[in-house]
Each structure stands twice: as structure tokens, then as C-alpha cells.
Amino acid sequence: GSLQLYRNLQQELADNTRIHNPDAVAPDTTGDIEFSNVSVSYPGEERDALQHVSFTVPARKTIALVGPSGSGKSTIANLLTGLINPSEGEMKLAGTPYLSLDSDLLKSKIAYVTQESVVFRGSVLKNVTMWEQDPNFGRTEQLLGRVDLKHLVGRTGEENGLDVRSAGTDISGGERQRLSIARELYRQFDLLILDEATSALDSELETRIDELFQEVKGKATVVVIAHRLSTIRNADVIHVLDTGQLVESGSYDELIDNGGPFAKMIDSQAL
């Protein structure tokens, strides 16, 4: 059984790996992203994960994706990063089809905080800088302080003052999530994807981290996937998904006034 799972994973990675194209275009990650009639189907699934979805992610704006589990939010995030391709329809970045883009360059300009934080055994410094040859120690220490991980920073004389205690399974879920946030904010990015990025944090910490994300507004394109609707009040546009379909879009106030699915979700969370 384990060998079969491994083989299936190898095949899935091979199926979704783009063959290097010598004519690939360098992505203009500061441009708009357009979804045109995009559908995605997964093998073995009766229903498409996305069904003929069309919308635009405006450059340097913040959009939010909301909807029940299985509505297609994370599928859109995977499309944005180039991890999967549409089964039907087309995506464009600054007018260039996604399939024509240099996939590696595209990924290098994307920061992605996932629901399940990935933390590596090793130093806190290496977890933030991802083994960068010439890391910025000052920036690393500042970010750790901003995400309330100052207790992971010591003055041991090693790693330019950063404690090299383990940052693996011996830290809490909330600490793992904040370490992942610091890692992504350390990078130079044009697109930031936040998939339930503060789900493991209490309200006070969530507010402080949200203030950190607000500093990115206007400097990068931000896509927020959220179940807690209180976290998306400041989004420029909210897209509501249900069973793979885009059911309504608008600002927070517009969607409340419409009295549609989003307003019902707000009522259910008593916001």
C-alpha cells in the first residue's frame, strides 16, 4: 500500500511538471491575472473542482476567496502558483497565457502561506531564509519579533545572534504557522497567497499578524482564502464560491447589502 501511494505521488508530480520550454516567457508578476471560463477536474472525482469560473485578480489589490469546504478556493490557489493547469479555459498574467510562462520564475515571485505550516528540522534562521547563501540576519530577527517569536531568538554568538535551537516538531502549531509567515514575508514577492494563514492563532495575535499583512497592501497582489470572515473586511473584492462555481462578487459592504450567500455566511458567524 505504501509503495502504491509513493508511485501514485511520483506519477502525479510527473503529470503536473511542465517540460522546460526554451521559448518560455518571463512573467510580469506585477500585472493583472485573468481567469477565463476556467474549469478543473481531478481524476476519480465526479464533479469538477471548478466549473467555468471567470474573474480578474487586479494587480496590487487584495482579493478574498470565501465559501464552504470543497468550493474550489484552494484549487484556485494551486492554479495561481502554476502547480496545476486548467482542464478547460485559460489563465493569463499581464495578458500572457499561463502555459507560456517560465514556471520557475513565476514561483520565485510568489509567497504562499498554506493551511498546514511546513517547518524543517534545523535552525530558526534556516527555516526563515531557506538556506540562503548570504542571509539578512537583521531582517530575519525583525520579522521574528513582528510575528511574536522573539523567544526563538537568543544571543548565543552563533548565526549572528540567532539561536540555533530546533524549529521542528517541538514548537506549537501557532508557532509553526507564525514561522511560516515570517519565511514568506522574508522573500521578495509580487503575489502573496494566504490560505487560512492565521487559523492557529488567537484573536490578539491574529490582529497583530493582520497588521503586518496590511503593510503589503498596494505593494503586492494579495489573495486571501478565509473561513473566518472577520479577516477579510479590508479586501478590495470578495469572490464567493460554492461547489466550484463563482456565485457572487463585490466589496464587503456590497455583499452584505445584496443579502445573498455571503450575507448568510456573515449571519451564521454572528459578525
Edge-to-edge strand ranges of the sheet holding 221-225:
110-113, 191-195, 221-225, 62-66, 237-242, 245-250
Report yes or no: 80 and 66 within 8 Å, Cβ to Cβ.
no
pTM of the model: 0.85
> In degrees rounded to 5, what are phi and psi of residue 60?
60, 25
What's the pLDDT score for residue 169? 54
- Are 223 and 57 contacting, i.e. CB atoms less than 8 angstroms apart? yes
- Determine the pLDDT at residue 143: 92
Residue 186 backbone dihedrals phi, psi, to 5 degrees: -65, -30
Q: Quick one: pLDDT at residue 270?
A: 64
Question: pLDDT (tens digit, 9 = 90+) per residue, 14-53?
Answer: 766 655 667 889 999 999 999 999 999 998 888 999 999 9
C-alpha angle with apex 80: 77 to 82, nearest 5 degrees? 110
pLDDT for the residue 56: 96
For residues 33 and 99, is the Cβ–Cβ distance under 8 A?
Answer: no
55 exposed, middle or buried (CB, 10 Å; 0-12, 13-18, 19+)? middle
* pLDDT at position 163: 47
CA distances 11 to 16, 49, 82, 241, Å, are 9, 20, 17, 30
Q: Look at residue 34 in the predicted model and tell me its pLDDT.
A: 98
Nearest-angstrom CA–CA distance, 112 and 223: 9
**Buried b or exposed e, range 238-249, using 16+ CB within 10 angstroms:** bbbbeebebebb
The CA distance from 228 to 232, in Å, is: 8
DSSP codes of every residue in 63-129: EEEE-STTSSHHHHHHHHTTSS--SEEEEEETTEEGGGB-HHHHHHTEEEE-SS----SS-HHHHHH
Weakly modelled stretches of the chain, pLDDT under 50:
155-164, 166-168
Q: With contact defined as beta carbons under 8 Å apart, do 223 and 77 qualify?
A: yes
